Amino acid sequence: MFLALAVTGVALDVLTKVWVVARLQPGEPVPLLGGLLTLRLIRNPGAAFSSGEGFTAVFAVAAVVVLVFILTRLAPRIGHPGWAVALGLLAAGVAGNLVDRVFRAPGVLRGHVVDFLQLPHWPIFNVADACITTGAVLVMVLAVVKNVGISGERYTRTAPAASAADGSAPTSTSPAPTTTPTTPTAEPVDEAERG
């Protein structure tokens, strides 16, 4: 599932960018769905939302590092379908934009990313960006909301133990024994002894 989503996501991202570059001209938007979605071609040298435009090569190298980390350290540990979807989408998004950084002008590791999808009051993005955003949201839901680890194990949240009086952390996680004060009580009197 991870590999299928990653490969499909990269293919869809690359194909849509090839189509957009061949059909659209910068500065000539194409409104769709009554203006809900607009196709508007731009070339982005920076990161998300066109930030960091002077660090294109840094973003390319960072993408390589992230992709290698996902493929070598995270993917082999996947034991839950939700994590397969989340990491597959993340890998697809990172790889899709990395293809632009490597193969598009002005040069290797300096290529500008093709963005073309625009929603009202939202920066222009592409299929790879959508994959990254969706994958990141799924990771947060799985790890924080559902408490599911990448291997499928489930975590339970417990309240942290109180610190010792001197400020140091307690050395044991077992609960401290509690004692209940006892008060002397009169022994029950047998009815036969009452006479």
Q: Which amino acid is present at 98?
A: L
106 CB-near residues (< 8 Å, 6+ apart): 112
HEC string of the chain equals CHHHHHHHHHHHHHHHHHHHHHHCCCCCCEEEHHHCEEEEEEEECCCHHHCCCCCHHHHHHHHHHHHHHHHHHHHHHCCCHHHHHHHHHHHHHHHHHHHHHHHCCCCCCCCCEEEEEECCCCCCECHHHHHHHHHHHHHHHHHHHCCECCCCCECCCCCCCCCCCCCCCCCCCCCCCCCCCCCCCCCCCCHHHHC
Question: Given 13, 115, 166, 190, which residue is catalytic?
Answer: 115
Active site residue 115: yes
Q: Which amino acid is present at 10?
A: V
**Nearest partner of 82 among 8, 154, 10, 157, judged by Cα:** 154
Active site residue 100: no
Question: Given 13, 100, 129, 166, which residue is catalytic?
Answer: 129
What residues are labeled active site? 115, 129
